[in-house]
Amino acid sequence: MRLALPPISCKVYTPADLAEAIVRALGDEPQVSWLEPSHGKGVFVEALARLGVRKARIVAVDLDPTTSAADSLATTLRGVDFLRWASETERRFDRIVGNPPFISIKRLPPSLQKSAASVMDFNGRPIGRGANVWYAFVLASLRLLKHGGCLAFVLPSAAEFADYSAAIRRAVRETFSSLELYRCERPLFENVQEGTLVAVARGYDAPPCKVSRKHFETREGLIHGLAQSGSRSGHKCPSGTVRWTDSTVTLDAVAEVRLGGVTGDASYFLMTEERRQALELPTSALTPVVSKAKHLRSAFMNRKDWNELKSSGERIWLFNPSEQVAKYRKVRNYLKLDTSEGGCNREAYKVSIREPWYRTPMPKTSDAFLSGMSQHGPWLCVNEMHGLKATNTLYVVTFRSRSREIRYMWALAFLSSIAQHQIRRIGRRYADGLVKYEPGPLGEIELPKLRTDADHRSLYIRAVDALLAGDPTMAKDIADSVLS
């Protein structure tokens, strides 16, 4: 039976110059065996051939049965599911190199989902459909390495922060002698804006691990940097979660961070006050929201602040009528609009799966808002307006304590040097230089406990004012001034 192929969108071919740089970074020795688990058109195998590696020492695997000229340069296995093959083969390799597919396992054809989702994580459990195929490839490849072996992969920036890949980051720390991470400020591939990196790991089964990170402005610079691979000094990996003092607590122990409401069609559901009035929609059919990072302008958001956004023409209304309000004539008219007239795209995934389609699920309690992509880094804007919500361009923070003073205390602790030192390590860097922070890693940030006799709200206002004015050092100093 012929295996179904994954979507064409996940096929991103490595440029020849980058493939050659990666292969040369790993280096070859007589009798060393090589594996390319995502062979494609054979750019890595061609690079190996130019390096002088004979066909008998290379195994190349690819799901696509379509042959390529490079197939003759290796023992090529076409039409083979690498993940299934890896679980059955007894072969082991000294070098593994490649550019695995970047696609959610959920998006694979059913015939491929099972082998990918059943790959065992380092916790002894299958990774499941919520992980990505690149993660399954790396896990499977690690189990095919010989003692002292090396691997090099082109990976998405998610490799450094995603929740599902946490186990593999620990495994690298515990099993390799060195890890080099090369990141480029510009896209490594055409038509791909997602941040990518090149990871080179050496000395399998020979810890402790030393890590070095290097950023380059261009792909050419990264390729030049790879030429120095193996000569870079690194820092020793921490042996576990950093516990700064006995007086710290994780953010997710005191609050929950999650995505704001996902509309599925922002152009239909989000609107300005001017548009609401033009449509003659009652305010009872809408929910007040903040929908952009630039809406967060100070340490807190109250009704006066929100009204200023409304007056300035920002989209601060979410069309979200109850089933009763949906019966009002003007609301019915808006619900019935055709897409050509500005109506909702009912085929959008998030819209099509909910009932009724016009009700956007929202977090019940919004104690604070947080932007994962602020130029100032993540900070909390405490919500002081009853009923105010946020859409999915922002995160919503719900504190476990209902005390307003406690919320300001933890928001201030989030700006401390202890917290900020950790935050700098978890950003997801895109090719255009933008840094994004995800809820999972943010929840693991250790917050220092602050003195309870301080006026946390006034201190936090001062700290955020300093942060937004471009003085993060002052913001940290204010937070550190009340460390317990």
Looking at the fold, whether 358 and 436 belong to one and the same domain comes out as: yes
Domain membership of residue 3 (yes or no) is: no
Of 236, 269, 301, the residue at which a domain comes to its end is: 236
Looking at the fold, whether 386 and 439 belong to one and the same domain comes out as: yes
In the predicted model, what is the mean pLDDT of residues 156-184?
Answer: 75
Burial 61-90 (b: 16+ CB within 10 A, else e): bbbbeeebebbebbebbeebbbbbbbeeee
What percent of the chain clears pLDDT 90, i.e. is strictly above it? 63
Looking at the fold, whether 225 and 364 belong to one and the same domain comes out as: no
Looking at the fold, whether 278 and 215 belong to one and the same domain comes out as: no
What percent of the chain clears pLDDT 70, i.e. is strictly above it? 89
Range of the domain at 404: 252-480
Give the domain CATH number at 168. 3.40.50.150
Looking at the fold, whether 280 and 227 belong to one and the same domain comes out as: no
Q: Residue 254's pLDDT is what?
A: 94
Of 236, 269, 299, the residue at which a domain comes to its end is: 236
pLDDT at position 393 over 60? yes
Looking at the fold, whether 222 and 335 belong to one and the same domain comes out as: no
pLDDT at position 231 over 80? no
Domain membership of residue 242 (yes or no) is: no
Domain membership of residue 469 (yes or no) is: yes
Domain membership of residue 245 (yes or no) is: no
In the predicted model, what is the mean pLDDT of residues 332-358?
Answer: 92
For residues 465 and 474, what is the distance between their CA atoms, to the nearest angstrom?
Answer: 10
Whole-angstrom CA distances from 292 to 165, 236, 376, 390, 393 are: 29, 39, 14, 9, 6
Of the two residues 46 and 451, the one the predictor is more confident about is: 46
For residues 372 and 293, what is the distance between their CA atoms, to the nearest angstrom?
Answer: 8
> How many CB atoms sit inside 10 A of residue 121's CB?
19
Closest to 134 in 3D by CA, of 157, 150, 111, 114: 157
| Tens-place pLDDT, residues 284-313 | 999 999 999 999 999 999 999 999 999 999
Of 208, 236, 264, the residue at which a domain comes to its end is: 236
Domain membership of residue 244 (yes or no) is: no
For residue 343 the two structure tokens come to: 């109506």
Q: Residue 396's pLDDT is what?
A: 96
| Tens-place pLDDT, residues 186-212 | 666 665 545 578 999 999 988 888 888
Of the two residues 314 and 349, the one the predictor is more confident about is: 314
Average pLDDT, the chain: 88
pLDDT at position 54 over 50? yes
Percent helix, strand, coil in the chain, to 5, is 35, 20, 45
Looking at the fold, whether 302 and 164 belong to one and the same domain comes out as: no
> Could you tell me the pLDDT band of residue 60, with boundaries at 50, 70 and 90?
very high
pLDDT at position 376 over 70? yes
Could you give the number of structural domains in the chain?
Answer: 2
Please state whether the peptide bond connecting residue 356 to the residue before it is cis, i.e. omega within 30 degrees of 0: yes
* DSSP code at position 355: S
12-16, 272-276, 462-466: least confidently modelled range: 12-16
Looking at the fold, whether 17 and 112 belong to one and the same domain comes out as: yes
Domain membership of residue 241 (yes or no) is: no
The packing angle between helices 404-413 and 472-480, to 10°, is: 120
Looking at the fold, whether 263 and 217 belong to one and the same domain comes out as: no
The DSSP line for 98-140 is: E-----BGGGS-HHHHHHHHTSB-TTSSB--TTSBHHHHHHHH
Looking at the fold, whether 218 and 84 belong to one and the same domain comes out as: yes
| Tens-place pLDDT, residues 256-278 | 999 999 999 999 999 999 999 99
C-alpha gyration radius of the chain: 26
pLDDT at position 35 over 60? yes
Of the two residues 238 and 307, the one the predictor is more confident about is: 307
Angle of CA points 248, 417, 171, to nearest 5°: 65
Whole-angstrom CA distances from 148 to 41, 145, 201, 207, 417 are: 29, 8, 10, 10, 38
Looking at the fold, whether 231 and 261 belong to one and the same domain comes out as: no
Looking at the fold, whether 358 and 454 belong to one and the same domain comes out as: yes
Domain membership of residue 200 (yes or no) is: yes
